[in-house]
Amino acid sequence: MESVYAALLLHKAAKKVDEKGIEKVLTAAGVEVDKNQLKALVAGLEGKNIDELIAGASAAPVAAAPSAAPAAAEKKGKKKEKKKEEKKEEEPAGLGALFG
């Protein structure tokens, strides 16, 4: 992942995005360079417009949140209501026993 960040940094600085440049950035940051990953990244970016890739990545659809969570919250609320109702029913019976 650091290789991608280095490539983006070079691109933003209007420098040539190549193996040598990415390796220099990673070395300066104290990151171990994986030569195979570096070659694969440069080959993958070759001939592509990085600005278009960034724009396409930011326009990717966001995954919808699961709808089961609100249902779980409702169940918890119902359990609390049931407990309160049970307590209310118990209290009058206890008071009735005191007076008669």
Q: What's the rounded mean pLDDT across residues 74-100?
A: 61
pLDDT tens-digit series, residues 46-73: 888 888 888 887 765 666 666 666 655 5
What pLDDT is stored for residue 68 in this prediction? 62
d(CA 6, CA 3): 5
Within a domain: 67:
no
What pLDDT is stored for residue 82 in this prediction? 66
How many domains are there within the chain?
Answer: 1
Within a domain: 41:
yes
- Residue 9: give its domain's CATH number: 1.10.10.1410
Banded model confidence at residue 100, pLDDT cuts 50, 70, 90: low
Within a domain: 11:
yes
Dihedral sign for Cα 15, 48, 52, 60, please. negative
pLDDT tens-digit series, residues 10-49: 989 999 999 999 999 999 999 999 999 999 988 988 888 8
- What range defines the domain where residue 6 resides? 2-58
Q: Model-level pTM greater than 0.75?
A: no
Within a domain: 13:
yes
Within a domain: 25:
yes
